[in-house]
Amino acid sequence: MWRLWFGGVRPPSSASFSAGLPGENGSPPTNGGSGTTSAACLSCNTVEDTDHLLLFCPQATEVWESFHLGFDPGADASFSDFCLQHSSSYEEATINTAIAWSIWKRRNALTFNSINEDLSFVTRRCIQDIRLWAFRCNTPSSTSFLNSWCNGCYLHIPSPDKCDMNVTVLQVQHIKAHPTKGRAAAVVRCSSGSHEQERDGMALLGRRDALASAAACGVSVLGFAGDGLAVAGQGLLAGRIPGLSDPDKNGWRTYRRPDEKSGGHGVGWSPIIPYSFKVPGGWEEAPVSIADLGGTEIDLRFGNPKEGRLSVIVAPTRRFADDLEDATIEKIGSPEKVINAFGPEVIGENVEGKVLATATAEYSGRTYYQFELEPPHIFITATAAGNRLYLFSVTANGLQWKRHYKDLKQIAESFRVA
């Protein structure tokens, strides 16, 4: 289904999405299908068919209601009727299918992993999916409409009131091996202890899930142990190969991604083209969460507890274009389009009104977009090479930003892709 969802130049219609569910692993049969009666819904103990799953279940209803669409999806007799009534335009199809997809994923999390996903987490994840389609759309009016719609959603989607908003620590800990599957389990919880999710499997803490979980808790997604985010490593930093040079005369060192370093997006992807950047003394590599094999990934983290932190995100261009095997940042879009589409994935919220400065630089024939955002205090450098988009972010808290602004900016501007 995910391949179908991102495989074309527009999302599937809500009707074709519904029709595809019975072929998916763990999906309930549709009304009128030849399958046997589905098991009871774990949320409300009602017989679960597609109409119940996507419209009538209380968990589905609260997701639809959270977006204030101006109509009651539950008033329709079936999901097919709903599609006929409310998915006539590209924009409606995009929004409604994304919401249905989020409800479907929420159901699977509960059914297969015993995770009851927070409503704020679900709605924010849905908005990120819609933003991807806004970015991919070839019609400027539709792109503008969808982005504006997403911006408006942040004004009324559920606030993360389950967590203490003064809490700034998101703890991610490996806790045990699965007794039957032999895989790691992990816990994501606010330090207040009131918002907890446990995930089981190899993709427990993918970028998108970790980002949305953090956003749901009102927590910075780019922190490090002792300053926001503590991420348990995979053993002794699995895949980590030191790439730092000796200090230069000013004490700065150059990191170059080793050719031998593991990581990537699975079978069929070319090796990641090496990148490099410079950091002052005292900056060291930090653990990275388990990569999300379904999309973008954080390839590297670095930081200094007293000065700031950085991350490198490597995103397959196939997520937003089918014909960019030799990508350039110019082919992907203008600086404004790139930051509006991908800035929210870096900072966990809408970037409107936060971009203080934008610049374009060229080194060795490759173009780089450079952005400064506030708040949060962050520099983002974006470029593209091969079949991947590179997002290099450097961030710090208010005091660090004030004291080390010049060095942080120099780090951000030093990013290069070979």
Give the 3-state secondary structure of residue 73: helix
User: Which residues pair with residue 388 across a beta bridge?
Assistant: 316, 385
* pLDDT score at 306: 95
Give the 3-state secondary structure of residue 150: helix
159: DSSP letter: P
- Residue among 142, 182, 151, 155 at smallest CA distance from 10: 142
Token look-up 């450079």 returns: 370
pLDDT range class, residue 249, cuts 50, 70, 90: very high
* pLDDT score at 413: 98
* pLDDT score at 315: 82
The mean pLDDT of 289-308, rounded to a whole number, is 70
* pLDDT score at 319: 64
**Does residue 376 have a cis bond before it (omega within 30 degrees)?**
yes
Top-confidence residue, 7 or 94: 94
| The residue count for the chain | 418
- Residue among 30, 38, 32 at smallest CA distance from 55: 30
Structure tokens that stand for 369 in this block: 């977009």
11-20, 50-59, 344-353: the lowest-pLDDT one: 11-20
pTM over 0.75: no
Statement: residue 171 has pLDDT above 70: no
Statement: residue 24 has pLDDT above 60: no
Top-confidence residue, 282 or 196: 282
Can you give 309-364 as a three-state secondary structure string?
A: EEEEEEEEHHHCCCCCCCCCHHHHCCHHHHHHHHHHHHHCCCCCCCEEEEEEEEEC
Query: Which pLDDT tens digit goes with each residue over 131-147?
Result: 777 776 667 777 778 87
DSSP-derived pairing of the beta strands 229-231 and 170-177: parallel
The dihedral built from the CA positions of residue 226, 230, 236 and 238, taken in this order, carries a sign that is: negative
Q: Which CATH class is domain 253-417?
A: alpha beta
Structure tokens that stand for 273 in this block: 């083209």
pLDDT range class, residue 322, cuts 50, 70, 90: low
* pLDDT score at 247: 94
pLDDT range class, residue 126, cuts 50, 70, 90: confident
CA 372/CA 405 separation, integer angstroms? 11
The mean pLDDT of 398-403, rounded to a whole number, is 95
Looking at the chain, the domain(s) classified CATH 3.40.1000.10 span 253-417
| Average pLDDT score, the chain | 71
Query: Which pLDDT tens digit goes with each residue over 39-67?
Result: 788 878 888 888 888 888 998 988 988 88
